[in-house]
Amino acid sequence: MRRSSFFIFVLCICSQLTFSPLFAQTSQTLECNKIFEQRKQELELKLEEIDEARQAYEALKDATEAMFKKKEAALEAKERDLNATRAKLEEERQAIEALIAKNEKLLEAIKKAKADKVAQTYAKMKASAAAQIMEQMSPQDAAKILSTLKPKIVGQILAKMSPQKASKITLLLEDHTSKKSD
């Protein structure tokens, strides 16, 4: 818009000059040409500046896009690595859980074997000897051992204990048998 206004202005000046006398017309035409040349040079400089700015913009745009693609590729690689690590950790977690479950079963089997062995030991003892040993134990431990024995043997051992201790153990045995039936 600015450019066309300038040309219209110059054309107007030049057209007014054409109606002047011949001498005035020649000097003014020369001046008009001089103004055109100056303006042409100014416009060419502006066009060069605009072209340089456009080239700089294109170079910046290309560099930015290349950097973005590089960062995006690095991010995707990291994401793949993280997913692989996550999958590996999940496999390890599952293997550990399986190992824990296996170990818990083994521990239960060991505890049962140990309890059976203790039960067999007390079952083979005389009731009076077993009662004396259990008198020294906590009622909870004594009840735990007695809960693994046959009722006839339990009765014989309890009969040889002090009444207070036997009653405490009997109450605990009641809890053990109700838990087993649940």
List, for residues 119-174, the tens digit of each pLDDT value. Answer: 888 888 999 999 999 999 999 989 988 988 899 999 999 999 999 999 999 999 88
Mean pLDDT, residues 100-113: 94
Question: 116 and 145 in contact (C-beta within 8 Å)?
Answer: no
For residue 147, is it within any domain? yes
Question: 135 and 168 in contact (C-beta within 8 Å)?
Answer: no
Residue 129 and residue 131: Cα distance in Å, rounded? Answer: 5
SS3 sequence of 38-55: HHHHHHHHHHHHHHHHHH
Question: What was the pLDDT predicted at 179?
Answer: 63
For residue 159, is it within any domain? yes
For residue 173, is it within any domain? yes
List, for residues 5-44, the tens digit of each pLDDT value. Answer: 555 555 555 555 444 444 456 677 778 888 888 998 999 9
Q: Between 22 and 46, where is the model more confident?
A: 46
**What range does the domain containing 138 cover?**
125-182
Question: What was the pLDDT predicted at 16?
Answer: 52
Write the CA distances from 97 to 23, 56, 155, 173, integer angstroms. 109, 60, 43, 34
- The mean pLDDT of the chain is 85
Question: What was the pLDDT predicted at 91?
Answer: 96
In total, how many domains does the chain have?
1
For residue 162, is it within any domain? yes
- Please state the pTM of the whole predicted model: 0.46
For residue 92, is it within any domain? no
Tokens 């006398």 sit on residue: 21
For residue 40, is it within any domain? no
List, for residues 144-159, the tens digit of each pLDDT value. Answer: 889 888 999 999 999 9
